[in-house]
Amino acid sequence: MRRRRLAAFLLVLMLAFPLAGCWDRSELEEEAFVLAIGVDKGKQSLYTVSFAIAHPSRLAGGGKGGGGGGGGGDEKPLVLTSVEAPTVAGAISMANSYLSRRVSLRHTKALFMGEELARQSGMFTMDEFVRFRQARRTIFYIVTKGKAADFLEKMKPTLEKDPQRYIEQMTYSVRHTGMVPAASQIQQYVTLVNTGYAQPITYYAALHEEGEEQSGKGTTQTEGYKAGELPRKGGANVDLLGGAAFRNEKMVGVLTGEDMRMILMLQDKFRRGIVSIPDPSKPDLFVSLEIHQGRPLRIDANLSGPKPRIHATVTLEGELLTVQSNADYTEPELQTKLEQATVGALEQRMRSLISKTQQWDTDVIGFGQEVVKQFPTVEAWERYRWQDWYKTAEISADVRFTLRRFGKQLSPPRPREQ
Amino acid sequence: MIKEEGHIGLLEATVLVYAILSAKLFMQAPGFLIEAGGPAAWQAALVMTAAGLLLLLPVGALARRFPGQGLPQIAEAVGGPVLGSLFSLYVLAWLFATTANSLRNFTEVYIGTILPNTPPSVLTFVALFCMAYGSYRGLESVGRATQVLLPVILAGIVLVLVFSMPRLQLSRLYPFWGHGLVYTVSGGAYNAGLLAEAIVVLILAYSLRDAKNVRKAGMLGVALFGLLSALTCAVLVMIFGAPDAAQQPFPLFNLSQLVYLGRFMQRTEALIVMFWFFNVAVRLIVLFHALVVTLTGMLRLPYHRPVIFPMAVLLFSTSLLPEDTLVVLRIMRDWLTPSGLGILFVPFLLLALALIRGKGVQSHAA
């Protein structure tokens, strides 16, 4: 009995040690949580690394004010600091020498990389995020037009107070617009670069400069813009639209929202989105349709000829949203005409996209993921060198479109005398 | 004969065999299989399982011929004091190296993932305490505790795989035959050494009430582990791609970090790591107990408890010998896995010898 009591006492005594905390305890008040990192080409060192650090009391509202403006008045919810260093880890170490709290990447949600650096390199920094314990592979990888540091400094979210939530929310737009990549986390980027079955696409973001003349091409469509070129006013000063196309670790081009939508259709990841096409009855006016996927994508790859031949069949369905010409598309003949016009417009956009990616020599669409299925072994696939063939491959796309619904109105409202 | 208190049934024995093996899924076993099979790693896992099951078949026959006896006793009965002791010594040496390596691997995994600042000796001490206490309580207590923990142990793997489903990319399983069928089959067969810990079922055969259950427990445990390995490899390849997945020392941890089901279902690794701890603890306890019991049997001691403390001290010192993580991994891949294949041949050799020499119950009956 005595021995048992002694054993129980010793056990309780032993439990007391871990209760006091362990070597890896961390107090919230001692950590500076980095919500976003910006990486640019450095002047004195390899990189300029910017940390957007959460200011917890300002993010929480602090009890002052209300609404979207936030409780802290003009106080920003983020503290921004930049430091020149050869690596991100080195930058963290340097930042720790002048910040009172320890820099932590445990809550980092986004990595912003300046376009200049993304076009020159990219994989060097990615290794840090894959290897470093604190970083997660779910961090969003976003290329910014211009410097990432400027982007982080000037970014002013609206509707969302928390910039982290704002970015996360923006990425969800793929579900209803299809104008950003289906996913752009470090995980996808690294895996695509490693396997080589397809090339990576990341989010592309730009600051919208108010009052400045936009460099858009004056397109009459709603989707053919790059980030930063939208003809708009007000709202948040950030455009997250289109994508950055990579070839291996280097960025090679900027994709428009329209390009992204075509890519999603050809990747079998398109959910739904609104397209505007010239009205077949009156080409100077427009028809808007909400389209969504009808059937799974079909891709046929034929490697027997002198060049690889790939044919994609995209099946879509749609609902009529707007008819400016007052044409009655519920009439079978006109319905067929509209369906054909939609098919023609989409096929033309797909051809343009495919040609663009072939010029860039990068299979961002991911046809390689179908081509690889024709090879029995890894060695045979690697000998084939798909990346070298992509530029010259004969790639075609065939769209099948059925207008399923006509909205809440059948024939359009029109003046009595018509 | 060891005076071990209590017995275990079929379910408990099966769960123990499965738990010993499944802890490897959190460590480097998937990486080894992916290295061997590339995109066809799941095929390599199935080959590994088939080879392991085949090599474990004689375990049942041995247990039936020598009811109520463990491996050291069977080896001595079959091979005599010299040859029998050599068999037991080989198993003992391999078990010792495996347990020491697993102990160190456990500390490396936890330091590399969630406890970077904790001294390795502290983690080793905590694990050793669990091992020694588990062995002191005996197999019946460990078996029952593991049976209760089974849902948690299974959840540690199954939940991660299920939550990862939105990320699956089927095309990454191609080229279908990986590096070629020959490479996959040879790689899978080589990695059958990863199943060598299943020999524990023969070492602890004396604890099972029914000798017929020894084979069943071994087979079921290995089969369940094999299926989950194949599934884990397939999921890892479909998400990370074979080249990336093969280079990850803790792929399942990385997978759990990827769980991202909207804003509300993230950072699941905090929970999953806790589940894994139970699994790793069971593995270490059972390996340690098997090691202690083997030595006790070889020394013909009636009780195993006096061996616990010296063995724990030896393991503690040995586990700290490898210089770095890579040495730990290389020992596992280049030494313990191939020599584990030899361990799987031990029951086969013992059965062959028993048949030739007419040892065991059946020969008496005849």
pLDDT digits (tens, 9 = 90+) for B336-353: 999 999 999 999 999 999
Pick from A191, A369, A378: which is nearest to B178 by CB?
A378
Distance (Å) of CA A206 to CA A131, A260, A340, B108:
29, 16, 35, 43
| HSE-up of residue B23 (Cα within 13 Å, Cβ side) | 26
Rounded CA-CA distance B61/B139 in Å is: 23
If 0-12 CB within 10 Å is exposed, 13-18 middle and 19+ buried, where does residue B165 land? exposed
> Is the Cβ–Cβ distance between B39 and B178 less than 8 Å?
yes
Pick from A185, A190, A377: which is nearest to B175 by CB?
A377
**Chain B neighbors of A380, CB-CB under 8 A:** 175
Whether residues A23 and B122 touch (CB distance < 8 A) is answered with: yes
Whether residues A375 and B240 touch (CB distance < 8 A) is answered with: no
Rounded CA-CA distance B53/B195 in Å is: 9
Local confidence band at B47 (pLDDT 50, 70, 90 cut-offs) = very high
**Chain B neighbors of A190, CB-CB under 8 A:** 244
Chain B nearest-CA residue for A369: B171
Task: Check the CA dihedral A303-A305-A309-A311 and report its sign.
Answer: negative
Percentage of residues of chain B with pLDDT beyond 70:
97
Tell whether the model's pLDDT for residue A275 goes beyond 80.
yes
Residue A133 is predicted with a pLDDT of 85
* pLDDT, mean over chain B: 91
pLDDT, average across residues B88-110:
94
Whether residues A373 and B171 touch (CB distance < 8 A) is answered with: yes
Rounded CA-CA distance A150/A128 in Å is: 23
pLDDT, average across residues A360-377:
95
SS3 state of residue A165: helix
pLDDT, average across residues A260-277:
91
Whether residues A138 and B260 touch (CB distance < 8 A) is answered with: yes
Q: List residues in chain A touching B: CB distance below 8 A.
A: 22-24, 133, 136-138, 165, 168, 185, 187, 190-191, 194-195, 197, 369-370, 372-373, 375-381
Whether residues A372 and B174 touch (CB distance < 8 A) is answered with: yes
> Is the Cβ–Cβ distance between A91 and A32 less than 8 Å?
no
Whether residues A376 and B254 touch (CB distance < 8 A) is answered with: no
**Which amino acid is residue A208, in one-letter code?**
H
Rounded CA-CA distance B199/B353 in Å is: 18
Out of A232-246, A306-320, B174-188, pick the least confident: A232-246
Residues facing residue A40 across a β-bridge: A48
Residue B116 is predicted with a pLDDT of 86
Residues 6+ apart with CB under 8 A from A72: A57, A58, A61, A62, A64, A65
Tally C-beta pairs within 8 A across A and B: 80
Residue B38 is predicted with a pLDDT of 94
Whether residues A191 and B241 touch (CB distance < 8 A) is answered with: yes
**Chain A neighbors of B167, CB-CB under 8 A:** 187
> Is the Cβ–Cβ distance between A161 and A68 less than 8 Å?
yes
Residue A4 is predicted with a pLDDT of 83
Distance of CA B110 to the CA centre of its chain: 18
**Chain B neighbors of A24, CB-CB under 8 A:** 114-118
Whether residues A197 and B171 touch (CB distance < 8 A) is answered with: yes
Out of A359-373, B90-104, B247-261, pick the least confident: B247-261
- Closest by alpha carbon to B51, among B192, B196, B223? B192
Rounded CA-CA distance B44/A111 in Å is: 37
Tell whether the model's pLDDT for residue A265 goes beyond 50.
yes
pLDDT tens digits for range A28-72: 888 899 999 999 999 999 899 999 998 877 776 544 433 333 344
Rounded CA-CA distance B173/B316 in Å is: 41
**Chain B neighbors of A138, CB-CB under 8 A:** 257-258, 260, 266
**Helices of type H across B5-40:** 10-22, 29-37
Whether residues B177 and A136 touch (CB distance < 8 A) is answered with: no
Tell whether the model's pLDDT for residue A214 goes beyond 80.
no
Angle at A189 between CA A114 and CA A44, to 5 degrees: 30
SS3 state of residue A281: coil
> Is the Cβ–Cβ distance between B178 and A383 less than 8 Å?
no
**Chain A neighbors of B116, CB-CB under 8 A:** 24, 133
Residue B46 is predicted with a pLDDT of 97
Q: How far is A149 from chain B (nearest CA, A)?
A: 26
Residue B275 is predicted with a pLDDT of 86
Pick from B167, B175, B244: which is nearest to A376 by CB?
B175
Residue A390 is predicted with a pLDDT of 94
Local confidence band at B228 (pLDDT 50, 70, 90 cut-offs) = very high
Q: List residues in chain B touching A: CB distance below 8 A.
A: 38-39, 112-119, 122, 167, 169, 171-172, 174-180, 239-244, 254, 257-258, 260, 263, 266
Out of A1-15, A183-197, A316-330, B20-34, pick the least confident: A1-15
Residue A378 is predicted with a pLDDT of 95
> Is the Cβ–Cβ distance between A249 and A121 less than 8 Å?
yes
pLDDT, average across residues B271-286:
90
**Chain B neighbors of A133, CB-CB under 8 A:** 112-113, 116
pLDDT, average across residues A104-124:
87
Whether residues A190 and B244 touch (CB distance < 8 A) is answered with: yes
> Is the Cβ–Cβ distance between B91 and B294 less than 8 Å?
yes
Q: In a mutagenesis test of the B interface, which of A164, A166, A268, A378 is the best target, namely the one with the most B β-carbons within 10 Å?
A: A378
ipTM confidence: 0.86
Residue A215 is predicted with a pLDDT of 52
Task: Give the residue carrying structure tokens 């009529």.
Answer: A320
pLDDT, average across residues B183-192:
95
Distance (Å) of CA B124 to CA B110, B311, B336:
11, 14, 20
Q: How far is B258 from chain A (nearest CA, A)?
A: 6
Residue B366 is predicted with a pLDDT of 37
CA-CA-CA-CA dihedral for B204, B206, B212, B218, to nearest 10: 0
CA-CA-CA-CA dihedral for A33, A36, A40, A43, to nearest 10: -30
Whether residues B177 and A197 touch (CB distance < 8 A) is answered with: no
**Chain B neighbors of A22, CB-CB under 8 A:** 115, 118
For residue B166, cis peptide bond before it (omega within 30 degrees of 0):
no
Rounded CA-CA distance A268/A406 in Å is: 25
Tell whether the model's pLDDT for residue A342 goes beyond 90.
yes
Whether residues A372 and B175 touch (CB distance < 8 A) is answered with: yes
Tell whether the model's pLDDT for residue A177 goes beyond 60.
yes
Task: Tell me A413's DSSP state.
Answer: P
Local confidence band at A355 (pLDDT 50, 70, 90 cut-offs) = very high
Whether residues B116 and A133 touch (CB distance < 8 A) is answered with: yes
In B131-143, which positions are buried (b, 16+ CB within 10 angstroms) versus exposed (e)? Answer: bbebbebbbbbbb
Chain A nearest-CA residue for B37: A378
Pick from B175, B240, B260: which is nearest to A378 by CB?
B175
**Chain A neighbors of B239, CB-CB under 8 A:** 187, 191
**Chain A neighbors of B260, CB-CB under 8 A:** 138, 185
Task: Check the CA dihedral B29-B35-B38-B43 and report its sign.
Answer: negative
Residues 6+ apart with CB under 8 A from A115: A143, A144, A145, A146, A244, A251
Whether residues A195 and B243 touch (CB distance < 8 A) is answered with: yes
Rounded CA-CA distance A307/B327 in Å is: 48
Residue A225 is predicted with a pLDDT of 77
Task: Tell me A291's DSSP state.
Answer: E
Rounded CA-CA distance A201/A185 in Å is: 10
Q: How far is A180 from chain B (nearest CA, A)?
A: 17
* pLDDT, mean over chain A: 85
Distance (Å) of CA B109 to CA A269, B23, B116, B314, B328:
36, 12, 10, 21, 11
**Which amino acid is residue A159, in one-letter code?**
L
Whether residues B115 and A23 touch (CB distance < 8 A) is answered with: yes
Local confidence band at A236 (pLDDT 50, 70, 90 cut-offs) = confident
Distance (Å) of CA B159 to CA A339, A382, B163, B268, B273:
45, 35, 6, 10, 12
Chain A nearest-CA residue for B257: A136
**Chain B neighbors of A377, CB-CB under 8 A:** 175, 177-180
Distance of CA B34 to the CA centre of its chain: 18
pTM attached to this predicted model: 0.90
Whether residues B116 and A378 touch (CB distance < 8 A) is answered with: no
**Chain B neighbors of A185, CB-CB under 8 A:** 260
Residues facing residue B17 across a β-bridge: none
Rounded CA-CA distance A8/A262 in Å is: 69
Domains of chain B: 10-352 (1.20.1740.10)
Percentage of residues of chain A with pLDDT beyond 90:
47
Whether residues A378 and B39 touch (CB distance < 8 A) is answered with: yes
If 0-12 CB within 10 Å is exposed, 13-18 middle and 19+ buried, where does residue A361 land? middle
According to the per-residue pLDDT averaged within each range, which of A69-73, A167-171, B78-82, B326-330 is highest? B326-330
Rounded CA-CA distance B153/B145 in Å is: 11
Pairing of strands A201-207, A140-144: parallel
Local confidence band at B44 (pLDDT 50, 70, 90 cut-offs) = very high
Q: In a mutagenesis test of the A interface, which of B126, B133, B167, B169 is the best target, namely the one with the most A β-carbons within 10 Å?
A: B169
pLDDT, average across residues B279-297:
94
Residues 6+ apart with CB under 8 A from B216: B10, B14, B60
CA-CA-CA-CA dihedral for A322, A269, A262, A304, to nearest 10: -140
Task: Tell me A401's DSSP state.
Answer: E
SS3 state of residue B46: helix
Q: How far is A169 from chain B (nearest CA, A)?
A: 10
Local confidence band at B194 (pLDDT 50, 70, 90 cut-offs) = very high
